[in-house]
Amino acid sequence: MPTAAYGLSFGALATLGAGLDLWQTMILSLVMFTGGSQFALVGVLASGGLSAWPSAVASAALLGSRNAIYAIRMSPVIGRGFLKRAAAAHLTIDESTAVSTAQTTPRSRRIGFWVTGVVVYVGWNATTLLGALLGDLLGDVSAYGLDAAAAAAFLGLLWPRLKQRQAQAVAVASGFVAALLTPILMPGLPVLVAAAVALVFGISNWLGAPADHVEPTGGGAP
């Protein structure tokens, strides 16, 4: 899938741009496993070298903090059990959350979460290894469009959920804020500010009509 192929870009950038060796690249990918944070880390290292480690770690942590919000949303889907929840915590990413929330039944939400998380984890790390090994042969990875693959994949998952005016307003406002702040703030902060904007819009429901949130008689999917 496109998100797994995106690992090619990360593997090449980590070894060629940030100066990490093969083992460092793979341990980072296997343990951190959140593409945005991984790219933030190697991007800052590539521009600032070893002296930029504090900024690189801070940027990765800021960008990865969104996964905590995903975890709150996924907690009822995962259910109880320490080992199960620990495994789910590692697989709680943009893609697994988006696929799960797009489903209409509890069972399909669970299946969507686990299947997507495992497939992306295996694919991402396999292609990260390939990118790290073949980085010199790939050359400029942005020439293949791999730098936009993850964003395009996530947009494809998000698009079906933008059916109501309120959801459309949240998406536009958050995207505008993130685009406006990206050239100004350090990596990670624009995403958090955009998430705050989305939260305010979502709670207020300024553009939501009564029919948007009132269930018809007879029930239906929550």
What is the per-residue pLDDT for 212? 43
- Tell me the pLDDT tens digit for each residue of 57-95: 877 787 788 888 889 989 999 988 999 999 999 999 988
Handedness of CA 96, 151, 102, 69 (dihedral sign): positive
What is the per-residue pLDDT for 209? 53
36 phi, psi to nearest 5 deg: -60, -45
- Sequence spans of domains, the chain: 2-161, 162-213
Decide: residue 202, CB within 10 A, 0-12 exposed, 13-18 middle, 19+ buried: middle
Q: How many CB atoms lie within 10 A of CB 45?
A: 23
Residue 11 to residues 22, 28, 48, 127: CA-CA distances in angstroms? 9, 10, 19, 7
* ∠ CA 103-125-131, rounded to 5°: 125
Q: Is the pTM of this model over 0.85?
A: no
What is the per-residue pLDDT for 213? 43
Residue 156 to residues 126, 151, 159, 172, 214: CA-CA distances in angstroms? 23, 9, 5, 15, 27
Residues for the chain: how many in total?
222
What is the per-residue pLDDT for 164? 77
What is the per-residue pLDDT for 203? 73
Distance separating alpha carbons of residues 159 and 165, to the nearest angstrom: 13
- Tell me the pLDDT tens digit for each residue of 144-154: 655 555 555 55
What is the per-residue pLDDT for 138? 63
Residue listed under structure tokens 């947009």: 155
Distance separating alpha carbons of residues 132 and 130, to the nearest angstrom: 5
Residue listed under structure tokens 């050239």: 183
What is the per-residue pLDDT for 100? 93
What is the per-residue pLDDT for 216? 41
Residues in the chain with pLDDT < 70?
A: 1-5, 47-52, 136-161, 186-188, 191, 202, 205-222
Q: What distance lies between CA 192 and its chain's CA centroid?
A: 13
